[in-house]
């Protein structure tokens, strides 16, 4: 059993919190948009896109009322475009079932498209300031290293749940996120700067217990030349207009492999990122 994280961590972390724009609001929709964008995209890329997206879609009603193609255009360049489709579906569900207001209930949040355990708890903690614990890859890394062994998803969540100081969930979770992102990093962790190193079972010695632990992301597969790259190129091209079927291979970067282009394009359509039009594709 790992030593519990001391509440004094707040005193260390509060003055060191990164100045991120979504930390200046408690409005549920902007918080939800930020958390969806941050799922698989680096913070510095999200900052300008989050602000621009909210200028266009300031609330669930505006997002749900727009064609999904418009949402995809605003998302273009962030990658993993299915997140944009899910966010549009999420907004539609919020309007239909919750009167256009993001719910403040864990089960209701988990029932929304594209909202998983982390995102749901992040909305509860960061928008509604409920005593919810968030476990992303950074927090999971801190917990596994502190415990000194790999953790299951349930074990990591239980440890995080038990550590939240009552009434301090917003600050506590933000501090833990920054501790994992800035100090307890995946590569070259700064153990000498860690404010809770005394209770850490690992401290940089021996195999890293965070590797393979639930919630800790592994290395991504190669992007260059991948199906993901071709998908992204197609969605980006569709933002400018329809793409004929005979240009798919060229647009996706595989001019000599039209069979692969057709297969991947069919997947793009199946995921709701494109629809057929005549002999080609367009945004929904």
- List, by residue number, the catalytic residues: 35
For residue 193, what are its two tokens? 């700067």
Q: Which long-range contacts (CB under 8 A, 24 or more apart) does 35-41 make?
A: 35/118, 35/119, 35/122, 35/123, 35/126, 36/83, 36/86, 36/87, 36/90, 36/114, 36/115, 36/119, 37/78, 37/83, 39/80, 39/83, 39/119, 40/79, 40/80, 40/83, 41/78, 41/79, 41/80
Q: Enter the DSSP assignment of 251.
A: H
Strand partners, 244: 280
C-alpha dihedral (132, 133, 136, 142), degrees to nearest 10: 170
Exposure on the CB side of residue 237, measured as CA atoms within 13 A: 21
Closest CA to 130 of 138, 139, 121: 121
Alpha helices (H) along 57-204: 60-65, 68-75, 82-98, 106-110, 117-126, 137-147, 153-163, 169-178
């Amino acid at each position: 059993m790992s030593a519990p994280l001391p509440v004094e961590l707040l005193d260390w972390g509060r003055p060191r919190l990164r100045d991120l724009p979504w930390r200046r609001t408690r409005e549920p929709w902007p918080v939800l948009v930020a958390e969806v964008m941050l799922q698989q995209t680096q913070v510095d890329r999200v900052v300008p896109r989050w602000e621009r997206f909210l200028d266009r879609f300031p609330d669930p009603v505006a997002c749900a009322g727009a064609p999904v193609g418009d949402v995809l255009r605003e998302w273009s360049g962030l990658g993993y475009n299915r997140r944009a489709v899910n966010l549009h579906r999420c907004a539609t569900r919020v309007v239909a079932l919750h009167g256009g207001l993001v719910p403040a209930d864990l089960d209701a949040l988990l029932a929304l498209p594209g909202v998983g355990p982390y995102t749901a708890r992040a909305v509860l903690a960061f928008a509604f300031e409920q005593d919810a614990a968030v476990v992303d890859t950074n927090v999971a890394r801190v917990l596994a290293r502190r415990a000194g062994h790999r953790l299951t998803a349930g074990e990591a969540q239980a440890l995080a749940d038990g550590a939240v100081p009552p009434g301090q969930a917003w600050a506590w979770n933000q501090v833990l996120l920054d501790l994992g992102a800035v100090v307890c990093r995946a590569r070259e962790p700064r153990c000498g700067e860690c404010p809770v190193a005394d209770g850490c079972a690992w401290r940089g010695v021996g195999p890293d217990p965070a590797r393979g632990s639930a919630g800790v992301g592994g290395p991504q597969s190669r992007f260059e030349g991948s199906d993901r790259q071709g998908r992204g190129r197609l969605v980006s091209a569709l933002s400018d207009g329809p793409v004929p079927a005979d240009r798919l291979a060229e647009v996706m970067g595989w001019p000599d492999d039209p069979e692969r282009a057709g297969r991947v394009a069919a997947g793009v359509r199946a995921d709701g990122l494109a629809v057929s039009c005549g002999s080609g594709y367009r945004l929904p």
